[in-house]
Structure 1
Amino acid sequence: MNDAQTYYHGTKADLDVGDLIAPGYTSNYGTRRQAAFVYLSATLEAATWGAELAVGSGRGRIYIVEPTGPIEDDPNLTDKRFPGNPTKSYRSRDPFRVVGEVADWTGHSDEQLRQMHAHLDELRRQGVEAIEE
């Protein structure tokens, strides 16, 4: 990994600079079980989806984060499901430190959100769950 890389985390959690985003909390997605990993992306697009699709009543937020330990490709969006890592999505068992927030980002259209929710609903009906090995 390039140490100068900017990483993002999309969520609805209200966090401050210096806060840690760590595994062990209820997942924002799927069956909402305890998360074994935390996720980040090197693309604002993937973080935007994270902010928009996360559960919760707050507004979507995108934080600039730095890993505190090793990161690995997110198998939900890499070779186990898609070739390569087109979203530059990663995960870690170590926390991420919030170093800033992206204040000005543009969300997806209502139609794009409807399509993504329909796609996720179909995956749930098929029994496809997030990979958390």
Structure 2
Amino acid sequence: MNFSTYILIVITVFPFIQTKEEYYVLFRKVDNKVNIYMEDSLIYQSKLIDGNPEDLNLKVDISEHLKQGLNKLKVELINGSGQGFFEKDSHWEIFYEIFKNEDPIDYMSEKSSNGTTGLVFSFTHEIYVE
């Protein structure tokens, strides 16, 4: 049996071997702080992000927090610092995508200049894992 025959047998006999799928949230805009919850449990809290950087690529892996079936992922945006400074921050913005492996499966983009600080955005996504 040569090597290529062996490879063909392995591929034919084991076609259903699955690799672990990677799920992550990629934030492109966060002004000023983001929290991520899975089924109402806090799984990630960003540091204070000042100045709404154009080149933000904040990747948060959520794979280990997902279970088989329906999962609820909540993203919150806090405007201002929440610590006594930046409390007159009139503008806020958030833009992110949720990926399964390298494929986008959902996204959200919101912004406002309404002068509100504190919790300014909250959205719950449903992610189904087979």
Category of TM-score, reference length = shorter chain? under 0.3
More helix by share: 1
More strand by share: 2
> Rg: which structure is higher?
2
